[in-house]
Amino acid sequence: MQTIPLTIAYHNIKWPLENGLFFPFTVARLDLLHPVISGNKSFKLKYNLLKVLEEKKEGIITMGGAYSNHLCATAFACYQQGLSSVGIIRGEVMEPLNNTLAFCKAHGMQLLPVNRADYDSYSKAVNFIKEQYRHLLFVPEGGNNYEGFLGCTEILAAVPEADSYTHILCSMGTGTTFKGIAAAAKAHQTVIGIPALKIKETEQELFLQQHAHVKTEATTKVLFQFAGAGYARTTQEQFNFMNLFYTKTGIPTDIVYTGKLMQAVTALAEQSFFYESCSVLLIHSGGLQGNNSLPAGTLLF
């Protein structure tokens, strides 16, 4: 099995602020863990793969959209271990396949499209498919199950001197990563989640209950104002920021999650959200394969 290194590489950045001062922060480079099973997906798959072996299953059946990092990571991890994989794909699977799905297929993943309306772990259509693949372990979309969470509780232990940070920020999709990090964080730490999905004000309370609720000594916060144009929606302004961030730090980011995270943190620093005594850690959760869907030349990296 792919083993996760005991220590994760990190970069110390000094980000130039408009007032001429520099805002220091550290980026934990989970994106460098593996070219395919990058970022938080390595952690989410760890205990799911162990469960496959424990339960003597033949592989994993999971779900995702056409650009899903989780599907790529699952397909590749299963391929590497000689396991089968099936991906239940949201909406149509269009030919020619995009980069993400082509990669999944090339690594042995069987792709089963379901209508957007039926795309739910508990829908009749999905249950029907699950019944036919009982020899595979079902893992929900994004690796959002207990095993996924358990893996994510190990992220901080792999970051050098993780206890020294007062603030830890990560991107949120399902919130599994946020919850895992928060569960492992200490009482003097604040864990801040930046959702990549636009959540209406009236739905934020429910989102917090479902995606951010976790037993922890740490303080937790979710900041909803940085979702930009919405999940997987991009703007020229975001590309410009990602290019600027790359030019100033040498760190590539992805269009769905980490680009928005970096933009959020630099915006918070401009707004003097952090005090001088704060030490800030950002979790770069990977996802760079998603950038392959952009026209060549959009990004500098």
Ligand X SMILES: *Cc1c(COP(=O)(O)O)cnc(C)c1O
User: Which are the catalytic amino acids?
Assistant: 68
User: Does 175 help bind ligand X (rule: CB under 6 A)?
Assistant: yes
Strands of the chain, DSSP E: 10-16, 22-29, 59-64, 84-90, 109-114, 136-139, 167-172, 190-195, 219-222, 280-284
Stretch that binds ligand X, among 94-102, 124-132, 174-182, 236-244 (CB under 6 A): 174-182
CB of 106 to ligand X, least distance (A): 19
| Positions 139 through 168 that interact with ligand X (CB under 6 A) | 142, 144
CB of 192 to ligand X, least distance (A): 13
CB of 272 to ligand X, least distance (A): 27
- Residue 79, phi-psi category: left (phi > 0), alpha (psi -120 to 50), beta (remainder): alpha
Whichever of 56 and 263 has its CB closer to ligand X, that residue is 263
CB of 230 to ligand X, least distance (A): 15
| Positions 253 through 282 that interact with ligand X (CB under 6 A) | 254, 257-258
Residue pair 104/110 in contact (Cβ under 8 Å)? The answer is no
Q: Is 264 exposed, middle or buried (0-12, 13-18, 19+ CB in 10 A)?
A: buried
Whichever of 39 and 59 has its CB closer to ligand X, that residue is 39
Q: Of residues 84, 171, 189, 263, which one binds ligand X by CB under 6 A? A: 171
Q: Of residues 28, 251, 287, 299, which one binds ligand X by CB under 6 A? A: 287
Whichever of 173 and 228 has its CB closer to ligand X, that residue is 173
What is the total residue count of the chain? 301
What is the spatial distance between Cα 22 and Cα 31, in angstroms, rounded to a whole number?
A: 25
Whichever of 58 and 238 has its CB closer to ligand X, that residue is 238
Q: Of residues 29, 46, 57, 70, which one binds ligand X by CB under 6 A? A: 70
Q: Using the CB atoms, write b or e for 99-135: b if 16+ within 10 Å.
A: bbbebbeebbbbbbbbeeebbeeeeeebeebbeebee
Whichever of 21 and 157 has its CB closer to ligand X, that residue is 157
Q: Of residues 222, 280, 286, 299, which one binds ligand X by CB under 6 A? A: 286
CB of 178 to ligand X, least distance (A): 6
Q: Using the CB atoms, write b or e for 45-78: b if 16+ within 10 Å.
A: bbbbbebbeeeebebbbbbbbbbbbbbbbbbbbb
Whichever of 33 and 280 has its CB closer to ligand X, that residue is 33
What is the spatial distance between Cα 66 and Cα 93, in angstroms, rounded to a whole number?
A: 7
Residue pair 251/245 in contact (Cβ under 8 Å)? The answer is yes
Stretch that binds ligand X, among 59-67, 81-89, 159-167, 170-178 (CB under 6 A): 170-178
Q: Of residues 26, 48, 100, 174, which one binds ligand X by CB under 6 A? A: 174
User: Does 40 help bind ligand X (rule: CB under 6 A)?
Assistant: yes
| Positions 192 through 211 that interact with ligand X (CB under 6 A) | none
| Cα-to-chain-centroid distance, residue 124 | 28
Token pair 């933009």 is found at: 263
What is the spatial distance between Cα 281 and Cα 12, in angstroms, rounded to a whole number?
A: 9
Residues near ligand X (CB under 6 A) are 39-41, 69-70, 142, 144, 171-178, 254, 257-258, 285-287
